[in-house]
């Protein structure tokens, strides 16, 4: 993990109800770090389900980070969510980490 990084715990179900609060939290953490600096680590250890709205939220967070020249890392991605990211070809957008 980079020295200038922030960790965001993703909800158990990242979907229609939780996507907007999640996106707002993620963008606020990215904004705190300053443009061109830092990395947002999204911890998915507690996340059991992600639907299309949740995938959309992850893409929007990635876009915001890219515009600011920052990175988004997904940590503790379970096999089902990893399969979904590969299936939708979103795995290329993110860095991955399995440790804490």
pLDDT tens, residue by residue, 33-89: 989 999 999 999 999 999 999 999 999 999 999 999 999 999 999 999 999 999 999
Q: Fill in the DSSP letter of residue 12.
A: S
CA distance 98 to 76: 5
Angle 5-100-14 from CA coordinates, rounded to 5°:
80
Q: What is the dihedral of CA 85, 89, 93, 97, to 10 degrees?
A: 40
Q: What is the pLDDT of residues 2-23, one digit of tens each?
A: 668 999 999 999 999 999 999 9
**Topology of domain 5-97, CATH:** Transcription Regulator spoIIAA (3.30.750)
pTM, rounded to two decimals: 0.92
pLDDT at residue 100 tops 80: no
Q: Encoding tokens for residue 62?
A: 């990635």
């Amino acid at each position: 993990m980079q020295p200038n990084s922030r960790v965001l715990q993703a909800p158990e179900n990242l979907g229609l109800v939780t996507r907007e609060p999640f996106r707002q939290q993620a963008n606020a953490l990215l904004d705190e770090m300053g443009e061109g600096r830092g990395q947002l680590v999204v911890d998915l250890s507690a996340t059991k389900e992600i639907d299309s709205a949740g995938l959309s939220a992850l893409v929007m967070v990635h876009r915001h980070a890219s515009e600011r020249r920052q990175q988004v890392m997904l940590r503790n991605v379970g096999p089902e969510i990893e399969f979904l990211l590969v299936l939708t070809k979103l795995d290329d957008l993110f860095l991955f980490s399995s440790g804490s």
